[in-house]
Structure 1
Amino acid sequence: MIRIVLVEDQAMLRDSLVCTINAQQDMEVVAAFANAADALEATRRTGATCALLDVCTENDSSGIVAARLIKEEMPDVRVVIMTGLPEITFVDGARKAGVDSFVYKNVGTGELLGIIRSTMEGYSTFPWRSSASSPTAWSFPKSR
């Protein structure tokens, strides 16, 4: 079972993701909230195996900072960062923080669920810009 801590500051999206994820046979949201500053403690407390973190959250808290703290303390926890903002520095910052995968919120829920599953299997997904300048994602085995 993939045990997920979810951080998303938009309540409607957070609630929708909780319902979608909990409807999966192999996934469960063990904590969901709006502030990334709470992610490390929630991951510790719940024994989560995955953290799905928005980049920009309540109180100007950063999912990327939370990801770095989680990976430093619990390197086996997989971290997926998501954002709706096509800011390339977020991708670079996520890589430096040790994030396992990065996804833009313009993907469908089926694709997001697939990215979570592949990340848990050791693959890493990060966007890149094609010649048309639209974000595209590629998955590849994460080097250990």
Structure 2
Amino acid sequence: MVKLLIVDDHAVVRSGLMMLLNGKNNIEVIGEASEGDEAIQKAKELNPDVVLMDLSMPHGKDGLTATQELHALMPNISILILTMHDDEEYLFRAIHAGASGYILKNAPHEDLLGAIESVSSGNAYLTPSATKVLMSGYLDRVKKGDNADSFAILSEREKEVLEWIAKGYSNKDIAEHLVISVKTVESHKSNLMEKLGLKTRPELVKYAMKKGLLHFE
């Protein structure tokens, strides 16, 4: 039996998911939470196999932060992100935070059941659109002729800034961590994009993943 904890700030959504999932495909819903801190506490009390985690919970700790903290505290629990955000930056940040899977709220019920089964077995699950994002990023880099030399031309400080960007930190946060000005961070970011031939922050995240700057357990 797969023990499931549902985390969403909307009571109606939680009730609907419970009715949909409880008793299906060997799933038992053992609890629910409305925000991140409550989710972590319930996970400690109930020790679920899978946590079904929403990202946007404005009246408490958000899903990304809760995922990161819960993964650090209880790495044996699989966290499946269930969200409306079909956005590559959210996807990469969720993976880096320790999520085992990422699926959209508009996905068919059968896909959600399959995703829970997959992550409970220790496998990863990505919604088809997320898989397409990853593949697209890889193919784009291949077409651009990306190789080891592109990383070699970066300064040590630029590599540091790239790593913090990839982890989802804002320019202000990076400046505080590295004890430099926000203007200097923006300058390093601009230089990174010029040297690597990239145009957006998500492209920098993809590049960092390819170069092994993000480490997943």
Q: Distance in 2 between matches of 1:42 and 1:114?
A: 24
Given that residues 7 and 57 in structure 1 are in contact (C-alpha distance below 8 angstroms), is that contact kept between their aligned partners in structure 2?
no
> Residue 91 of structure 1 contacts residue 102 of structure 1 at CA under 8 Å; is this kept in 2?
yes
- Identical aligned residues as a percent: 23
Are 1:67 and 1:97, in contact at CA under 8 Å, matched by a contact in 2?
Answer: yes
Match of 1:94 in 2: 94
Identify the match of residue 131 of structure 2 among 125, 128, 131. Answer: 128
Q: Structure 2: give runs of 5+ residues left out of the alignment.
A: 137-215
Q: Which moves more between the two structures, 121-130 or 93-102? A: 121-130
Deviations 1:39-60 (A, max 9, x none): 1110010121111000011415
Tell me how far 1:16 sits from its aligned partner.
Answer: 0.9
- The TM-score normalised by the length of structure 2 is 0.57
* Aligned position for 2:74: 74
Tell me, yes or no, if the aligned pair for 1:54 and 1:82 is still in contact at 8 Å: yes
What TM-score do the two structures reach when normalised by structure 1?
A: 0.83
**Greater share of strand residues, 1 or 2?**
1
Kindly indicate whether residue 115 of structure 2 is the aligned counterpart of residue 115 of structure 1: yes
| Aligned-pair CA distance for 1:90 | 1.0
**C-alpha deviation, 1:37, in angstroms:** 2.3
Residue pairs, 1:1-144, within 5 angstroms:
1-24=1-24, 26-126=26-126, 127-129=130-132
1: CA distance, partners of 2:53 / 2:94 = 11
Deviation per residue, 1:30-75 (Å, 9 max, x gap): 1112212211110010121111000011415311111111110111
Bigger proportion of residues as helix: 2
Unaligned stretches of 5+ residues in structure 1: 134-142
